[in-house]
Amino acid sequence: MARYHPSMATRTTPRVEGRSSLALISHLAQVVRRDADQALADVDGMRPRHLVALTLLRDHGPMAQAALGEGLRLDPSNVVALLNDLEARGLVTRRRDPVDRRRHIVALSDGGVRALDRAEAGLAAVEDALLSGLSADERSTLRELLLRHRAVALPPHLAQTRLRELLLRHRAVALPPHLAQTRLRELLLRASGDRLPDCAEAATAEEAPAC
């Protein structure tokens, strides 16, 4: 006589509807990454790491090369390679620190300002296209819900930045967790429009197809 084993029991765990958002979010992330990379590439071949470095210099002003490396979480050799690339493109300048000649001060050039403006305009166009199916109020709600769920998972090096402070101080959406998850999924579905393949919409907690 066969002995009973727990694995023989019928699975009774209830399906959590919100879990099916995973395939949706994954697909939208792929669409955004593809379109955003192309928008950056249209700005003289800019890459995401260039954008981050230029944004740091724009937001925080000229800084020591070592400090920029810390902000980018890059080791010194990679920082040098990145800055060589940016300097060759005319996007940043480097000069010796008059106080400590051993240090280099990195600053955003006029060309870097223009390139950053173009890049941000291109990324804004990508976002507008992706969210074209949502009203202004729905976009605001989607952003607030994403910020609420993102704020608790920010990497440690962002913990003291103005971004985190704003996220924690201005989380205005007060929906209960289960309603917030449902509303988030609803808005993501509406934002996806024709971009969402059938496999992503049909995905369940037990099925996570690679769309």
Instruction: Give me the phi and psi of 182, to 5 degrees please.
Output: -65, -45
Q: Which of 130, 151, 167 is the last residue of a domain?
A: 130
209, part of any domain: no
Report the percentage of the chain scoring pLDDT > 90: 39
Domain that holds residue 32: 19-130
Same domain, 97 and 144: no
pLDDT in tens, 76-89: 999 999 999 999 99
Q: Which of 130, 146, 175 is the last residue of a domain?
A: 130
Same domain, 56 and 89: yes
Identity of the amino acid at 153: A
CA dihedral 122, 162, 80, 92 (to 10 degrees): 50
210, part of any domain: no
- What is the pLDDT at residue 42? 95
Number of domains in the chain: 2
Same domain, 102 and 44: yes
211, part of any domain: no
Same domain, 73 and 120: yes
> Do the strands 92-96 and 63-64 form a parallel or antiparallel pair, or are they unpaired?
unpaired
Same domain, 119 and 23: yes
Could you tell me the CATH number of the domain that includes residue 36?
A: 1.10.10.10
- The pTM is what? 0.62
The yes-or-no verdict on residue 210 having pLDDT over 70 is: no
Quick one: pLDDT band at residue 160, thresholds 50, 70, 90?
A: very low
Greater confidence, 106 or 153?
106
Least reliable range by pLDDT among 29-38, 181-190, 195-204: 195-204
- What is the pLDDT at residue 150? 64
Q: Kindly list the distances between the CA atom of residue 192 and the CA atoms of 20, 32, 131, 166, 176, in Å, as whole numbers in the listed order.
A: 14, 11, 8, 27, 24
